[in-house]
Amino acid sequence: MDGNGRWANNRRLPRVAGHKEGMNNVKKITKKASQMGVKVLTLYAFSTENWRRPNDEVSFLMQLPVDFFDTFVPELIQENVKVQVIGYTDALPEHTKQAVDSAIEQTAHCTGMILNFALNYGSRAEMLTAVNQLVEEAKSGELTEEVTEDMFSKHLMTAILPEDYQDPDLVIRTSGEERISNFLLWQIAYSELYFSKVYWPDFSESHLEEAFGSFQARNRRFGGLNETKESK
């Protein structure tokens, strides 16, 4: 969800105003994605590298989940949306962690779309954590066989998601930047990538539909051949 700061700068507003507007947009896009049948919507909300930002901006970002869940959880329940979080949440401020834990608990009964926040998340750190867990299991004798892709995936944070939806079909990045920025590096090996020039606060429901339309028009081969399309 990139471009909050630049959205604010273009309007001569403080950067935090962009983050607030970005939070409001999460609500609209979440509802639209749920209504369109998305099974899991993962939003990169705060990376392990974002701690390097100015203290006042980080403090504001840590307050956003509190405000977001305080106002939006009832609507999420109404939409039958379940909240999940991946990331190193133990390192979050206590008020942020409490808000996250409460949202997870309140929506645990929901059976519709999973709204999965990547919060204090970094993919390289996630993979190193998985490797170290496997090393410890090997040392203790719990692991006695060769590590497979499936085994490795089970040690990643996305293992909390349903097995069929741990690897995203589509990755959308807003604001015109064309890079992955340490997001689900293992899981997106065969994901389709979509880059929008629109800043996140302006990324509307129609922009989401355009991204889905682009995805549906692509020929996904996963390293093989799509016999139907390749023969045309």
Check 2, 25, 116, 120 and give the catalytic one: 2
Name residues whose C-beta falls within 8 Å of residue 87's C-beta, 6 or more positions apart in sequence. 46, 48, 117, 118, 119, 120, 121, 157
**Is 179 marked within a binding site?**
yes
Establish whether 67 is a catalytic residue.
Answer: no
Asked whether residue 109 is marked as a ligand-binding residue, the answer is no
Q: Which residues pair with 85 in a beta bridge?
A: 117
22 is in an annotated binding site: no
Could you confirm whether 132 is annotated as catalytic?
no
Q: Does 6 show up as a binding residue in the annotation?
A: yes
Q: Which one of the listed residues 9, 50, 56, 219 is annotated catalytic?
A: 50
Q: Is 175 left (phi over 0), alpha (psi -120 to 50) or beta?
A: left
Q: Check whether 3 is labelled as a binding-site residue.
A: yes
19 annotated ligand binder:
yes
Rounded-to-integer distance, Cα 43 and Cα 125, Å: 18
Whether the Cβ atoms of residue 171 and residue 194 lie closer than 8 Å to each other: yes
Question: In 3D, which of 14, 2, 108 has the Cα closest to residue 46?
Answer: 2
Helix (H) and strand (E) counts in the chain: 8, 5
The answer to whether the annotation marks 9 as part of a ligand binding site is: no
Q: Is 224 exposed, middle or buried (0-12, 13-18, 19+ CB in 10 A)?
A: exposed
User: Residue 220 annotated as binding?
Assistant: no
Q: Residue 124 annotated as binding? A: no
- Rounded to whole angstroms, the Cα distance separating 194 from 19 reads 22
Task: Confirm whether residue 52 is marked as ligand binding.
Answer: no
Residues making up the annotated binding site are: 2-7, 15, 19, 47-49, 51, 53, 173, 179-181, 192
Residues making up the annotated binding site for substrate are: 3-7, 15, 19, 47-49, 51, 53, 173, 179-181
Residues making up the annotated binding site for Mg(2+) are: 2, 192
Task: Please list the active-site residues.
Answer: 2, 50
